[in-house]
Structure 1
Amino acid sequence: MTKPPATVRELIRETYSSLTQSERKFANLLLENYPAAGLASITIVASNADVSTPTVARMVQKLGFKGYPQFHQALLKELEAKVSGPTKRRDNWATEAPEGHLLNRFAQAVTDNLQQTFSNIDTVQFDAAVLQLSNTEGRLYVVGGRITRALADYAFTHFQAIRQRVTHMTSSSATWPHYVLDMVEGDTLLLFDVRRYETNLQRLAELASERGVKIVLITDQWASPIASVAEHTFNCWVEIPSAWDSNISTMMLLEAMIAATQEESWDKTKDRYDRLDELFDMTRLFRKFS
């Protein structure tokens, strides 16, 4: 399977150091409101960024596009991929997937997703997010969406063992105001949101951010709108030969975060593990082998 084409966001990141100050003004505007800021005409986007139209034209050529129309079409295709439902995704794979058994195509797609995901993780940002997740001075809230609530549940089970003051928010958005009521500055919200992005999660993130809560967002390669208020955003590549997206790269990133958080506070975590094992023995929850 050929490597999927780079998104406009990735192209900007790769070429950012070579852009002029004026070109960076447009690039920054686009990244702040991606991809909507680039979907208007070249004169409008240039005006919005307070740069000239030739500046925009030169920048898109540096990204590898022949001109602004090609750049505009690339953004439109990314937007279409964001909002497409399972039937549309399945149709795309049925016509574009290479020949061969589904198992082989699936394995290759997952491998590509993992490579793309981890090659695009900023280690400095990863370490900063881990520090935030291990900070017990504030409470850690964990929440997911319709599909990703399973990831949130998995995260909660592990973080609850690693550290104190962890809250698993229910999947019912009607209960979320009760949690927000107790959120204070210094708390952390670990949030999962992938396409189709959920408006209730976005509103929750906005309310939490207004209260000084630091948001760690795990999303897909196109990025949930929640990224605009998140302290740390991690993009996971998710496309596979299926009507559904894959959570394999998302799960691997999550497990890396869990492991790193455990190491960051190992002395306290080890004590919690020991005491937890004692409780397991007392409750006879697990079978013991002699």
Structure 2
Amino acid sequence: MNKTPKTVSDVIRAHFDGLTRAERQLAESLLDNYPVSGLGSITTVADNAGVSTPTVARMVQKLGYKGYAEFQAHLHHELEATLSNPIAKHDRWASNAPGTHILNRFADAVINNMRQTLSALDTRSFDGAARLLSDRKRNVYFVGGRITGALAEYFFTHMQVIRPKTALMSSNTSAWPQNVLNMSAGDVLVIFDIRRYEADMETLAEVAKASGVEIILFTDPWSSPVAKHASHCFRIDIEAPSAWDSSVVTLFVVEALIEAVQSSAWDETRERMNTLEGLFEQARLFRKPH
């Protein structure tokens, strides 16, 4: 969904059409098990792709890198960013923290995340995701990881009011096969997967995609491996002066999608909301003011 390259994989895809046949073979090899596939020696990378070493050297320069060393340095930087644990992140931020209040520093980071994400977000893909979620004939499933499961639940909670045929998948992976069993071609699976990526998510996406399920992915700038299976991929900036990644902009995009789906068939949504309010009143779930 990004208009400007952010990662080495972005750069490769942006230049793909201008590559020779051998270079395209190399590019596909690099993307197949990215970024690990590019971390070996230049000879190893060439052998794995079935091309010559000079082909590797020519392609990385064509991509805009001064040489293989610079190309690989970018890959190492990406890998470090995706694998960094909360303690390492906090130490890095603390050593570089400006002498301003945390509220201001956090606000600056979030605003920058918003700016960067929106500048790269493809509105056509956003609209495509909204159309999938708005199609009442499709079942929609939501799943997230240890932290992002809360975002999946938030999205699901709103969508089950707006439309029928929604399901929240458990964070317990042993329950996933039953969900996949119920999925049909054309259904939608919304996945949240940010660094450090959860290995089972890629397997789930692969199996669902093979069944004809459309996948909508929420991830980070470095991109979860699930991206290769996704119909729509929201790559969202998440850096913050904290041990934890920020979910603010992810939630912003989620809420924008909620509104887009809600407005697509407002009469039906309003009727469901009115019915639900009646059920709440019968159950005396919410306290009324006297």
TM-score, L = length of structure 1: 0.86
- From the superposition, tell whether residues 6 and 98 of structure 1 become closer, same or farther in structure 2 (CA, over 3 Å): farther
Question: What's the CA shift for 1:33?
Answer: 3.7
Q: Write the letter of the residue equivalent to 2:193.
A: D
Question: After superposition, where does 1:102-113 map in structure 2 within 5 Å?
Answer: 102-113=102-113
| Contact kept? 2:129, 2:216, Cα under 8 Å | yes
SS of match in other structure, 1:233: strand
Q: CA deviation at 1:264?
A: 2.4
Aligned residue number for residue 222 of structure 1: 222
Distance 2:246 2:286 in 1: 32
Matched, 1:248 2:259: no
What do the CA deviations read for 1:16-52 (whole angstroms, capped 9, x no partner)?
Answer: 3884455565445544543233223334444555666
Percent same amino acid at aligned positions?
A: 51
Select between 252-261 and 29-38 the one with higher mean Cα deviation.
29-38
Per-residue displacement from partner, 1:109-131 (whole Å, max 9, x unpaired)?
11111112222222222111111
Q: Give the TM-score normalised by the residue count of structure 2.
A: 0.86
Q: Does 1:75 align with 2:75?
A: yes
Q: In 2, distance between residues paired with 1:33 and 1:124?
A: 28
The corresponding residue for 2:138 is 138
Deviates most, 211-220 or 172-181: 172-181
What SS does structure 2 have at the residue aligned with 1:205?
helix
Verify: 1:7 aligned to 2:1, yes or no.
no
Alignment of 1:286 with 2:286, yes or no, is yes
Cα distance, 1:275 vs structure 2: 2.2
- State the number of aligned residues: 285
**151-160 or 135-144: which moved more?**
135-144
Unaligned stretches of 5+ residues in structure 1: none
Residue pair 1:32, 1:228 contacting (<8 A) in 2 also: no
1:156 Cα deviation from its structure 2 partner: 0.8
Query: Is residue 19–residue 59 contact of structure 1 (8 Å, CA) maintained in 2?
Result: no
Note the C-alpha offset of 1:58: 4.4
Deviations 1:172-220 (A, max 9, x none): 2222222222122121111111111112322222222222221111111
Equivalent in the alignment of 2:35: 35
Cα separation, 2, equivalents of 1:242 and 1:166: 34
Distance 1:154 1:263 in 2: 18
SS at match of 2:186: coil
Q: Is the 8 A contact 1:141 1:168 kept in 2?
A: yes
Indicate conservation of the 8 Å contact 2:16/2:27, yes or no.
no
User: CA contact under 8 A between 2:140 and 2:188: conserved in structure 1?
Assistant: yes
Asked whether the equivalents of residues 39 and 72 of structure 1 are also in contact (C-alpha less than 8 Å), the reply is yes
CA displacement 1:221-270 (0-9 Å, x = unmatched): 11111112222221111111111111111111111111111122333222
Cα distance change, pair 33–121 in 1 and its aligned pair in 2 (3 A): farther
Give the deviation of 1:83 after TM superposition: 1.3
AA matched with 1:16: H
**Secondary structure of residue in 2 paired with 1:171:** coil
Mapped to 1, the partners of 2:151 and 2:32 lie a distance apart of 27
- Say whether the 8 Å CA contact 2:15–2:63 is kept in structure 1: no
- Where does residue 163 of structure 1 map in the other structure? 163
| Letter aligned with residue 123 of structure 2 | T
Letter in 2 for 1:118: L
- Kindly provide the amino acid, as one letter, of the partner of residue 201 in structure 2: L
- Hey, what does 1:174 align to over in structure 2? 174
User: Helix, strand or coil for the counterpart of 1:113?
Assistant: helix
Shift of 1:285: 2.8
1:152 equivalent in structure 2? 152
